[in-house]
Structure 1
């Protein structure tokens, strides 16, 4: 039975949700009206966390299966971060291995697909999708330290 995506707990400057273990991602079912199919093991975080600058999804592909379609994007590049398993990734006419620790960036125009080549282990990954060329700075240029002593005492638990 499909699991409803979790709701976030929020505060003034944050949102937090718990998806559970990667091995339990198959409880989430993604359906889209554009392509009449159900994808087991996929959950998007934009609405759950009220994201305003990116879409992030957590994904699980069972052993010896393939994503059943190719896709492209109009405006967004995708960054795939593989956290478990072994697979093959295809962009246009190029195929390459992926597994835990592999990170792949695909331009919007790249025709992409992937498959799990393991006999026993799920292939799990995170996708970060954002507008191409929308972030010209480096993280270090945006972040700054706060002159405040770190304390964990007396803080509100949510």
Structure 2
């Protein structure tokens, strides 16, 4: 159940091991969170691909670049004819035009995919962040 307030939304989907219970257009193990959380600047999917399984097609995008963050497991990634190994800690950015696909290795592959319109980032955290004097309960002395 999603909790929403003026300046945030929060949800809890449970352990990543249960992602295979989620379904997106017939794909088990893929869960998009943009709609549930009301994201306005990017789309995010949480993914669990069973061992030995692969994305069933190669795809690209019209506008969105993607960032893949591998949390657990290993496998192979394909971009524009290049194939390379991925594992926990791997980060892969793919431009919209890049033709991409992936395959899990001997264990389930857990990853997050973040999509945002290519070229839309106008500032980074240091330029955009602003400190406040407000304190959370654990900061009180």
TM-score normalised by length of structure 1: 0.84
Query: In the alignment, which residue of structure 1 is the partner of 2:108?
Result: 122
Does 2:7 match 1:13? yes
1:151 positional shift: 2.4
Answer yes or no: is the 8 Å Cα contact 1:23–1:122 preserved in 2: no
Query: In the alignment, which residue of structure 2 is the partner of 1:92?
Result: 80
Query: In the alignment, which residue of structure 1 is the partner of 2:124?
Result: 138
How many Å separate the matches in 2 of 1:151 and 1:18?
22
How many Å separate the matches in 1 of 2:11 and 2:61?
27
Structure 1 alignment gaps of length 5 or more: 1-6, 32-37, 154-158
Structure 2 alignment gaps of length 5 or more: none
3-state SS, counterpart of residue 47 of structure 1: helix
1:145 positional shift: 0.6
Runs (4 or more) in structure 1 with deviation over 3 Å come to: none
Cα gap change, 1:65/1:149 in structure 2, threshold over 3 Å: closer, same or farther? closer
How many pairs align? 139
1:109 positional shift: 0.3
Q: Deviations over 1:111-145 (max 9, x none)?
A: 00000111xx2101000000000003221100011
Report the aligned-residue RMSD: 1.3
Report matched runs for 1:13-32 at 5 Å: 13-31=7-25
Answer yes or no: is the 8 Å Cα contact 1:43–1:58 preserved in 2: yes
Report matched runs for 1:1-158 at 5 Å: 7-31=1-25, 38-118=26-106, 121-152=107-138
How many Å separate the matches in 2 of 1:152 and 1:20?
25
How many Å separate the matches in 2 of 1:61 and 1:150?
37
How many Å separate the matches in 2 of 1:54 and 1:138?
15
TM-score normalised by length of structure 2: 0.94
